[in-house]
Structures are given as structure tokens and as C-alpha cells.
């Protein structure tokens, strides 16, 4: 009996590594089910997210957003897609993806959530300009006036002068 206990694996001893393949299998099965929210689908994405599989998690979250865009679970999935960009201070991608979500009509029917996304776009745009200005200032210090001018122009218009 003691030997059996030592060889059996308790839930607390399970491996903590995420398996994108296992999550893929779960999603294949879940796709055949009726269109109701599933905490299992959300948890699959959360599990991948917690183990730094952000791209795989984002795929799951996009599926959730597509299936249930007006459910608050889609808002949570959207936030989980955008959070790594905020943490990594990746303002360009935060701006890009926030703008993309703003175009999703069903997702943004909730006025408060639409405002949250709009605020993220504004913050990301502002931070992109600050980062570009900092880079432009460094170029000016190095005597690279033309490169600095292009950086400044691009940060304000989205494209360099021709």
C-alpha cells in the first residue's frame, strides 16, 4: 500500500508545464459543442498565458471573442491579449491591436468597454510619440539631424516625409 502511494501522482504533483497540443485537442472537441460559454475554454487560454505561451493563448482568446463577443468573457479575453503589450511596453502593438478590437462592433457594444479600448489607443499613441521623441533626441545629440527629423515627422503623422 505504501508503495502504491509513493508511485501514484497526486494533483498537486502534476507537471505545471502547459501543453499547447493538449489545449488544441480540447478546442477541437469544444468546437463541436453548442455555442455557450465554457470555462474550460477560458481556462485553457489562461493556463497557456500563465506559462508564457502568449501567442497560443491569444489564439484561444480570439476564438472566445469570436464565439461570444458580447459576453464579458470576451472582454476578459481581449484584456488578456493586450496585457502582455502593456507589460512589455510594446506601444506599437498595443496601439495596433486595441484599434483592431475597437473595429469589432459586437465586442464594443458595451460603452464602458469601448471607452476602455479608446483610452488604451490614446495611451499607446502618446507613448509611441514619447519613445520616438526620445530616440529622435538621441539622434540629434549624435549629429544625425536628417534621421532625427524623419523620426519626429513619423511620430506625429505615422509616416516619414517624402
Each residue's pLDDT tens digit, 122-131: 999 999 888 8
Which pLDDT value is given to residue 143? 85
- The one-digit pLDDT tens for each residue of the chain (162 residues) are 433 333 333 333 344 455 566 555 555 555 555 455 556 677 788 888 888 888 888 888 998 899 999 988 999 999 999 999 999 999 999 999 999 999 999 999 999 999 999 999 999 999 988 888 887 788 778 888 787 777 767 766 554 444
Q: Which helix (H) or strand (E) holds 19?
A: none
The whole-model pTM stands at: 0.65
Asked if 53 contacts 42 with a C-beta cutoff of 8 angstroms, the reply is: no
Which pLDDT value is given to residue 132? 80
Q: How far apart are CA 37 and CA 34, in angstroms?
A: 9
* Domain definitions of the chain by residue range: 17-87, 89-162
Which pLDDT value is given to residue 110? 94
Q: Half-sphere exposure (CA, 13 Å, Cβ side) for 82? A: 25
Asked if 81 contacts 42 with a C-beta cutoff of 8 angstroms, the reply is: no
% of the chain surpassing 90 pLDDT: 35
Amino acid at each position: 500500500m505504501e508503495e502504491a502511494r509513493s508511485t501514484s501522482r497526486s494533483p498537486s504533483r502534476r507537471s505545471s508545464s502547459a501543453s499547447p497540443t493538449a489545449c488544441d485537442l480540447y478546442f477541437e472537441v469544444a468546437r463541436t459543442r453548442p455555442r455557450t460559454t465554457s470555462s474550460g475554454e477560458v481556462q485553457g487560454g489562461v493556463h497557456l498565458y500563465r506559462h508564457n505561451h502568449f501567442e497560443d493563448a491569444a489564439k484561444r482568446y480570439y476564438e472566445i471573442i469570436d464565439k461570444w463577443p458580447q459576453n464579458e468573457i470576451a472582454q476578459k479575453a481581449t484584456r488578456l491579449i493586450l496585457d502582455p503589450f502593456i507589460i512589455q511596453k510594446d506601444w506599437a502593438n498595443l496601439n495596433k491591436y486595441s484599434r483592431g478590437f475597437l473595429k469589432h462592433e459586437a465586442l464594443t457594444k458595451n460603452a464602458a468597454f469601448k471607452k476602455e479600448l479608446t483610452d488604451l489607443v490614446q495611451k499607446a499613441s502618446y507613448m509611441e510619440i514619447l519613445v520616438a521623441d526620445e530616440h529622435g533626441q538621441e539622434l540629434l545629440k549624435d549629429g544625425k539631424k536628417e534621421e532625427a527629423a524623419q523620426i519626429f515627422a513619423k511620430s506625429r503623422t505615422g509616416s516619414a516625409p517624402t
